[in-house]
Amino acid sequence: MTKLLSPANENVLFLGNEAIARGALEAGLAVASGYPGTPSSEVIEALASVARKRNLYVEWSVNEKVALEVAAAASFAELRSMAVMKQNGVNVASDFLLHLTASGTRGGLVLVSCEDPGALSSVNEGESRYFARMLEMPLLEPADFQEAKDLTKWAFELSEQIGNVVMLRSVTRMSHASGNVICGKLPVRSRRAKFEYGGAVMDSQTGPMISTPVVAKHLLHQQRLKVIEELFERSSFNRYIGPAKPDLLILTSSACFLYAKEALEMLHLQKRVGILKLGTTWPLPPKLLKTHLQKTQQILIVEEVMPFLEEQVKVLASGMSPHVGRKTFFGKYDGALPSAGELNPDIVAGAIGAILKVKRKILSKSYLSEIKKATEMIPVREQTFCAGCPHRASFWNIHTAIALDGREGFVCGDIGCYSMAALSPATGYHTMPTLHSMGSGTGLACGFAKLSQFDFHKPVLTVCGDSTFYHAVIPALINAQHNRADITFIVLDNAGTAMTGFQPHPGLKVSALREAVPPVDIVSICQAIGVQVAVSDPFDLSATSKILTSFLAERGSVKALILRQACALSPEKKGKKPYTMQVNEELCLGDACGCNRLCTRIFRCPALTWNQSRKKAMVDEVICAGCGVCASICPQQAIVKYNGT
């Protein structure tokens, strides 16, 4: 039996995201939706794995806005529902979210945002906590795995209490780490869906689900939040550890609580420094805050990434200053902690040590020099496409076509594994100078392509993945066609949402619940939009090159090229090697004029290695995926392709 359905009181090791899923199950969740995004994806995956057993409906929606809408519908039908996404997704869903908090909800609706301080697997470290403040949604932040489960469960109750969305915010170090959780009870009965809307307009439980009259409903919402504030004052998720009169009070939430705890242990300051761990971070309970502010003169706020708590605390503190007196605050505003990036115990310990003028025992000089020597031996590991990745071949083709065209064409990039083309010449061959959000590549391309009247004549290309296409690109492609933007539009179709873990998307024949579904065809959509469409296999370098070269030469219209080749790690390819590749050392020119290591220095597939002693290229048979592309690029035909293994 899956551990997600463990019986009550069992102590289970859960991934943070699994704990969130468990909490939702214990709350009687009925519907869950989301869009894949690291570090959030496992929540939906876990729920999908038990959907049949627990009578859940679980969906990978085409984007986070639609995901939130799907969850909202379930909530309007009096079911408990959850929308799960990473921090980017909250921005995508924000238009609907704005109106949802204004109309209110019925069945408990929890918005789970798993964020990425330090951008470990994102190209931003945006903060969605401010949405809670802007839209006045209660915000909960678990600080450990037990809380991840318990807070999620509580979130549904809170949501039903105010008839509005509650936000739960996690971070990578919480979502993707594991810890022990004692399970609660799983409910036996499930609810029936029903949707009434004949009641009074001001009654969100029986009337229409609309945000008007706006100001009246806004005031009503703010009134209801007062109940939440009271609950937060008494909540055990806000707790204090430390001395009665600490020299320094740390205010913190989320994974930063663990960093702060560890920092105090490193400095042996547990008797001098107290930690107020906040699990309810909006609205901040003012009475609780007052009680703790009165204990001490100095307060350090430890949080990632933005000074969200710091600003709220300072606003409240200045309001209650007649009662608590003047305080000295440390945090991001004064530079005690870095204003960007992830925190860790070392950084927090450094800040505490500086405030209390306590020196940390650091590593001995000899140990430090040993570390330095060891780091010199660590091989450089660059971010790169996997062996057998179709994107490597696609960008090789794109680079060549741009070079032959000779007008300095460039690619507006988008989000997926192929984003890495912007990060390194080893992956993108210098083709991709822009990278923003899902679907923005095509939008930017539309803009660049209309600048010829300002003397801008560089050919404009854009790439997007298959999942990205459905998520956000279609409107931009329609825009290109409607506004006559001369762009070369390339879909890198590798048959899955690869970067985030191979979740299904509308182009596939299977859904999140492993049911057979009719695929939505990208080629047909492009044709319906009215653009010229071609399809090619990126592994076929010469055929793809021909099409790209002719597309770049063709001016004045949108040209769509769908490059189809499954991801090297896709289920259909994993473990299978179509070819065995071998370097014929007699033909290999190595670093001599005539080749100068084209395969290992420029093409850079990780399975091609340079043998320093023999001065020849070599295929690493363990890494090699057997795609065969390298055989086409070797000027000496020294890389040989054998069928099978």
Partner 1 sequence: MKKKPGSQAQLKQKVLEQDLCTGCGACIGLCPYQVTHQDRTVQLFDCDLEEGKCFAFCPRTPADYQKIRNILYDSEDITPEIGVVKGYFLTRAADKRLRARAQHGGTVTALLELAMSEGLISSSIISSWNEDQHIEGKVVENKDCLRDFAKSRFMASPTIAAFNRFKGAYMHKTGIVATPCQALSLAKMKTSEFAGIPNTVFPVLVIGLFCGWTLARDRFENLLEKYGFGIKEIQGMDVPAGKKNLELASERGQVDIPMVEVETCVRAACRYCIDSTAEFADLSVGAARFGKDSEEMRCWNQVVVRSELGKVLMDMAFNKGVLEFRDVPAQALRNLKNAAAEKKKNALKKIIEKSGSAKNLLYLKSDDPVIKYYLQSQRKRKGIS
Chain residues that interact with partner 1, rule: CB under 8 A: 399-400, 403-404, 406, 429, 591, 593-596, 598, 602, 633, 635
Which bin fits 325, alpha (ψ -120 to 50), beta or left (φ > 0)? left
Nearest to 141 by CA among 109, 170, 179, 174: 170
CB of 550 to partner 1, least distance (A): 10
Cβ burial of 595 (10 Å; 0-12, 13-18, 19+) is middle
- What b/e readout covers 298-332, taking b as 16+ CB neighbours within 10 angstroms? bbbbbbbbbbbbbbbbbebbeeeeeebeebebbbb
- Rounded CA-CA distance 421/426 in Å is 8
CB of 629 to partner 1, least distance (A): 14
Residue 319, amino acid: G
Terminal Cα-to-Cα distance of the chain (whole angstroms):
38
Is residue 260 within 8 Å of 253, Cβ to Cβ?
Answer: no
CB of 599 to partner 1, least distance (A): 10
Is residue 600 within 8 Å of 594, Cβ to Cβ?
Answer: no
Helix axes 87-103, 214-234, angle to 10 degrees: 110
- Rounded CA-CA distance 558/547 in Å is 14
Strands (E), 424-558: 434-435, 460-465, 487-493, 532-536
CB of 311 to partner 1, least distance (A): 48
CB of 429 to partner 1, least distance (A): 8
- Rounded CA-CA distance 599/623 in Å is 15
DSSP conformation letters of 569-596:
TSTTTTT--SEEEEE-TTT--TTSTTTS
By beta-carbon proximity to partner 1, the closer residue of 291 and 584 is 584
By beta-carbon proximity to partner 1, the closer residue of 153 and 392 is 392
By beta-carbon proximity to partner 1, the closer residue of 347 and 595 is 595
| Tokens 């989320």 belong to residue | 254
Tokens representing residue 128 in the block: 């969605």
CB of 401 to partner 1, least distance (A): 10
By beta-carbon proximity to partner 1, the closer residue of 201 and 403 is 403
CB of 544 to partner 1, least distance (A): 15
CB of 422 to partner 1, least distance (A): 18
CB of 490 to partner 1, least distance (A): 19
By beta-carbon proximity to partner 1, the closer residue of 527 and 596 is 596
By beta-carbon proximity to partner 1, the closer residue of 480 and 598 is 598
Q: CA quadruple 322, 323, 327, 332: dihedral positive or negative?
A: negative
By beta-carbon proximity to partner 1, the closer residue of 202 and 403 is 403
CB of 458 to partner 1, least distance (A): 16
- Rounded CA-CA distance 181/21 in Å is 12
The pairing of beta strand 328-330 with beta strand 298-302: parallel
CB of 425 to partner 1, least distance (A): 9
Is residue 563 within 8 Å of 493, Cβ to Cβ?
Answer: yes
Nearest to 543 by CA among 521, 524, 564, 572: 564
By beta-carbon proximity to partner 1, the closer residue of 76 and 429 is 429
Q: How many residues would you count in the chain?
A: 645
By beta-carbon proximity to partner 1, the closer residue of 76 and 603 is 603
By beta-carbon proximity to partner 1, the closer residue of 423 and 602 is 602
Nearest to 581 by CA among 515, 541, 631: 631
Which bin fits 203, alpha (ψ -120 to 50), beta or left (φ > 0)? beta
- Rounded CA-CA distance 269/242 in Å is 10
Contacts of 323 (CB under 8 A, 6+ apart): 290, 294
By beta-carbon proximity to partner 1, the closer residue of 349 and 598 is 598
CB of 598 to partner 1, least distance (A): 5
Is residue 547 within 8 Å of 489, Cβ to Cβ?
Answer: no
CB of 122 to partner 1, least distance (A): 31
By beta-carbon proximity to partner 1, the closer residue of 289 and 598 is 598
CB of 594 to partner 1, least distance (A): 5
By beta-carbon proximity to partner 1, the closer residue of 418 and 429 is 429
User: Which helix H or strand E contains 562, and what residues bound it?
Assistant: strand 559-564
By beta-carbon proximity to partner 1, the closer residue of 429 and 551 is 429
Q: CA quadruple 372, 374, 379, 383: dihedral positive or negative?
A: negative
